[in-house]
Amino acid sequence: MQHIINSAQTCLDCKKPRCQKGCPVNTPIAEMIRLFLAGDIKEAGEKVFNNNPLSIICSLVCPHEKHCEGNCVLNKKHTPVNVGGIENYISTYYMNYREFNKPEQNGRNIAIIGSGPAGISLAMIMALKGFDVTMYEAHDKIGGVLRFGIPDFRLDKTILDTIEQNLLKLGVKIKKNSMVGKNITIDDLFRDDFDAVFIGTGVWKPKKLGIKGESLGNVHFAIDYLKTPSAYNLGKKVVVVGAGNVAMDVARTAIRNGAREVQIMYRKAEENMPAERIEIEHAKIDGVKFNLFKSPLEFTNEGIKYQTTNPEEETVEGFEQADSILVAISQTARDLIVKNNAGLSLGENGLLESDEDGRTTREGVFASGDVVTGARTVVEAVAFSKKVSVAIEEYVATLPPRNKAS
């Protein structure tokens, strides 16, 4: 607690806070800190929550050094304000304080496909405005990438359970183990009197390298591994192919699940890695090793055949022994919904097409989050869903009125 207060006291309360401008969801950081220090923590929490219904999660998993903290003016000569820690303390306090009650209904029905950050934030926003919201989730628990793509050591999943209870108190219906796309179609949803449909199904289709050995029993895709790490027996030595944030997550997870040696194999230099700098540093602290300027040629039951890629050295081939290999070279959207529902289309990048406000190529169907943008941060999904909420309200206002629900 004291370190949170000490950091908050270093805030300069800038008239034009760069931290707020650097936040994708425009969190009123200076105002939040001002209220916090004045003893108005409930008001601070309310402002932050109303701006970002997933503030409690963003405060933990955001790349703060890239957004708010990275734009703090104190960066020039001092340590930036610990925005994430302060926001988490305030958001946790507010989540425990606030009472969530079902508001008066406006008679409009919204279907939300997917319960990741995009779907949860939209469900919260629309439910608070009086919409009757039904959320469809393919798994037995809500959260999407928050639950199945972010390791436990970065995000305590009981937070998601609390959020689920708050959604239920607001009247949101959550239909679990329900894969919308083939058996339940978008046509079915509109037939059943939903006024608008939202798609926030994320990116769960791993990209392949397309090299020999990728189907072997010791080769796994990172996004699949993160869902249930305890289900895998990776052995003592693990090599992770790729160098993004997901690669760092699976490497650190493998160490926590019994691997004795974990390497990141990457074809370029460390400064070219797509992962955030802080994620790379955390991986190093956890003991992950970096095997650079190497590109896989073939996977075998014993390891990886590779060739070197350092432009300043002669290209040679080599072999890296490994008990297991984790492929972490990004992922894209599954095409189940598009293939089985008319009027939707995928772009050349394999992602669902929509405009900047989430309107897809089918009237009344909206989308946001990773299924549209590709893998991005949680706060970017929230920012997108906020724009979608406005677009849905505008669209529903053009529809013939329904009888108001009780």
At 102-153, the pLDDT tens digits run 999 999 999 999 999 999 999 999 999 999 999 999 999 999 999 999 999 9
Model confidence band, residue 312 (pLDDT cutoffs 50, 70, 90) = very high
CATH assignment at residue 252: 3.50.50.60
Same domain, 289 and 392: no
Is there a single domain that holds both residue 238 and residue 186? no
Query: Does 104 reside within a domain?
Result: no
Own/partner long-range contacts of 181-189 (Cβ < 8 Å, ≥24 apart): 181/336, 181/337, 181/339, 181/340, 181/341, 182/336, 182/340, 184/136, 185/340, 185/341, 186/337, 186/341, 186/343, 186/344, 186/362, 186/365, 187/341, 187/342, 189/111
For residues 30 and 20, the answer to whether their CB atoms sit within 8 Å is yes
Whether residue 401 is contained in a domain is answered as: no
**Boundary residue ending a domain (299, 315, 331):** 331
Same domain, 305 and 212: yes
Is position 402 within any domain?
A: no
Longest dimension (CA), the chain: 74
Residue 406 in any domain: the answer is: no
Judged against a pLDDT cut of 50, whether residue 405 lies above it is answered with no
What's the domain count of the chain?
3
Regarding whether 34 and 93 lie in a shared domain, the answer is yes
What is the tens place of the pLDDT at every residue in 206-259?
899 999 999 999 999 999 999 999 999 999 999 999 999 999 999 999 999 999
Q: 202: Cβ–Cβ under 8 A, 6 or more apart, which residues?
A: 114, 116, 118, 144, 145, 333, 369, 370, 371
CB of 319 closer than 8 Å to CB of 304: yes
| Model confidence pLDDT, tens digit, residues 169-217 | 999 999 999 989 878 999 999 999 999 999 999 888 889 999 999 999 9
**Which residue range forms the structural domain that includes residue 288?**
206-331
Pair 228, 327 in one domain: yes
- Note the pTM of the prediction, 2 decimals: 0.92
User: Does residue 147 share a domain with residue 123?
Assistant: yes
What per-residue confidence (pLDDT) applies to 76? Answer: 81
Residue 404 lies in a domain: no
Q: Which of 97, 117, 134 is the last residue in one of the domains?
A: 97
User: pLDDT tens, 335-369?
Assistant: 778 777 888 888 877 788 999 999 999 999 999 99
Pair 118, 93 in one domain: no
Please indicate, yes or no, whether residues 8 and 80 belong to a single structural domain of this protein: yes
Q: Do 116 and 192 belong together in one domain? A: yes
Of 65, 97, 129, the residue that ends a domain is 97
Portion of the chain with pLDDT greater than 70, in percent: 99
- Give me the helices (H) in 295-377, please: 336-340, 370-373
Residues 210, 197 share a domain? no
Co-location of 211 and 312 in the same domain: yes
DSSP 144-200: THHHHTS-TTTS-THHHHHHHHHHHHTT-EEE-S--BTTTB-HHHHHHTT-SEEEE-
User: 322 and 220: one domain?
Assistant: yes
